[in-house]
Amino acid sequence: KAGVTQTPRYLIKTRGQQVTLSCSPISGHRSVSWYQQTPGQGLQFLFEYFSETQRNKGNFPGRFSGRQFSNSRSEMNVSTLELGDSALYLCASSFPQGGYTFGSGTRLTVV
Amino acid sequence: DAKTTQPPSMDCAEGRAANLPCNHSTISGNEYVYWYRQIHSQGPQYIIHGLKNNETNEMASLIITEDRKSSTLILPHATLRDTAVYYCIVRVSPNSGGSNYKLTFGKGTLLTVNP
């Protein structure tokens, strides 16, 4: 059974640009969550989608947005990139017993 | 803010049991205790979760105190590959009918297994 797939694995962008990250959940999982991990702030919740609807949102500026498609695949977008957006972005899909399964993440570097 | 308190680091000898404590004194009646671990630069890995009874799976055991204010994750025979940051999290179950299922991570415990 395939796990949570995130693409790309690594990304380098310039300040001011925008970026789109992709997440394919485990087949049959309808909930997808996104997290940002930085050395200073640790793992922080960005948002969660369930059946194409945003169900929860963390405390991030509006530059961070996401969406979920009918096949449960999800994308997150960050516009007007800042140096502080450099982080590991993790996607997780819901596990039948309630535990989330995480992908390996996308490491974004903003220069 | 995280609703759990964990020691920042612990050491364990290879082959011995690793007992990782977690305090969650403000846990609500419908909140479960979840444990995840993260090996450097990888996504967090689900280990185990429980509500009030002790739980065991192929990876670990979870002991929850009767008042549910604290718990202990037990790795019965730690190996070098168990070196990781372990996170204790409390959250409602997605099956509870509520809407706030997010995982709120604290700083976790860095477990170092020594040869």
Digit-coded pLDDT (tens) for A85-99 = 999 999 999 854 567
Residues of A near B (Cβ–Cβ under 8 Å) read 4, 31, 33, 35, 42-45, 48, 55-56, 58, 88, 90, 92, 94-95, 97-105, 107
Distance CA A74, CA B73 (A): 33
A56/B32 CB distance under 8 A: no
What integer is the mean pLDDT of B1-22? 93
Which 3 state secondary structure label does DSSP give B95?
Answer: helix
Which 3 state secondary structure label does DSSP give B81?
Answer: helix
B91 φ/ψ angles, rounded to the nearest 5 degrees: -160, 160
In this predicted structure, the answer to whether residue B64 has a pLDDT above a threshold of 70 is yes
What integer is the mean pLDDT of A36-48? 92
Q: How confident is the model at residue B1 (pLDDT cuts 50, 70, 90)?
A: low
Q: Can you give the pLDDT at residue A51?
A: 86
What are the tokens at B40? 């450097």
Contacting residues for A9 by C-beta, under 8 A, at least 6 apart: A104, A105, A106, A107
- Is the preceding peptide bond at A39 cis, omega within 30 degrees of 0? no
* Residue (of B64, B66, B76, B1) closest to B34 by Cα position: B64
Q: Can you give the pLDDT at residue A94?
A: 82
